[in-house]
Amino acid sequence: MQRKFMKTFIGVLTLAVLAASSCAFAADKTVTLKLGNVTSDSAKKAGAKFKELLVKYSGGSVKVELFDDNVLGDDKTVVEMTQVGDCDIAVSSTSSLTPLYPDYYIFDMPYMFLSKNEVYKVGFNGKAGKKIVDGVESLGLKGLGMWENGFRNLTTKKTPATEPKDVKGLKIRTMENDVHIAAWKAIGANPTPMAFSELYTAMQQGTVDGEENPIGIIMGNRFYEVQKNVIYTEHVYTPYCVLMNADKWKSLSKAQQAALTKAMKEATGYQYETSQSIEDSSDKMLEKVGVKVTHLTLAQKQAFQKAVESANCFAMIKKKMTHPEYAQQMLEELQAVRKK
């Protein structure tokens, strides 16, 4: 009898919670948010998870229309669309947005972060990191979260580069980013800025000898079909930022905002797990298709780090940032973490 009573009680309680949840959104208009997403598999899966969770937590009052694989335009274009309201939520690499928001330059500093733990603890959640994440409000945007893009790694068509001299003279595709270009010049490469949409064909035809991207991008875009070497240089940690049109955010009810925040938090955790899973399984998959995978030793990585020093990227970044004091503060926070 007691067990039967408890089952009945739990059932009634569940119905009461569901009813209360429905009441919270009863007066809200149904909203459909347009989300422009990137090409990374982990980000696309997280976008789908966010869509699913937001419908659930908002009682169906907020829906999401997904546009994956940069079909609305490149990262910068989609964020600009979000600024003016043609898109509601954009996922973008921070490196693509430095012309719009110079404080993101801190995430282009070579070997600024030496582990993901440092990124999460200091880069995203440290005092300086939070100021940078929240500062997008000046652009008419609301920062919803920071997603994993990961450490950038070198790929080449012929040369399994394990030290800076192996890269000398190679045409390495980079973004149109002054810091990235300066860093690769310092290493000895011939950095070649190029639109991402042109990269696969350029590698296939030999227009460039290699490129550098996080492993999720390399895998998601099948670069292993036209590159035979993946070298884990882990020279820059590039995150994705998830940004929403500020006016669109303000137009949502408090209950809808709470539902969106909850859904994004859970989708972000899911994205981190998915990204790590892709990284963990990528070596075997790459080797299976004939790609040579090289994980640099600490000494080899330090050789690349030393080669980059001549570019004086930190000073360059501080000159470009709107708040250069954030760069110095973040560096000090990282040094404090490393001493513990």
Going from N- to C-terminal start, the domains of the chain cover 28-339
Does CATH place domain 28-339 in 3.40.50.1820?
no
Q: What is the pTM assigned to this prediction? A: 0.87
Question: How many other CB atoms sit within 10 Å of the CB of residue 270?
Answer: 17
> What distance in Å separates the CA atoms of residue 238 and residue 221, rounded to the nearest whole number?
17
Q: How many helices (H) and strands (E) does the chain have?
A: 14, 10
Handedness of CA 16, 54, 44, 280 (dihedral sign): negative
The CA-based diameter of the chain, rounded to the nearest angstrom, is: 81
DSSP secondary structure code for residue 172 in this structure: E
pLDDT at 280: 93
From CA 262, how far away is CA 23, in angstroms rounded?
Answer: 18
The Cα 325–Cα 331 span in angstroms is 10
Close Cβ partners of 193 (under 8 Å, ≥ 6 residues apart): 173, 174, 175, 176, 177, 181
Give the separation between CA 82 and CA 286, rounded to whole angstroms: 36
Residue with tokens 């292993």: 224
Long-range contacts of 333-340 (CB under 8 A, 24+ apart): 333/122, 333/126, 333/127, 333/128, 334/112, 334/113, 334/118, 334/122, 337/118, 337/121, 337/122, 338/114, 338/118
Residues of the chain where predicted confidence (pLDDT) is lower than 50? 12, 14-19
Question: What's the gap between Cα 234 and its chain centre?
Answer: 15
3-state SS assignment for residue 267: helix
**φ/ψ (deg, to 5) at 87:** -135, 155
Residue 302 has a CB neighbour count (10 Å cut-off) of: 12
| Alpha-carbon gap, residue 166 to 153, rounded angstroms | 15
Amino acid at 44: K
According to the model, what pLDDT value does residue 18 have? Answer: 47
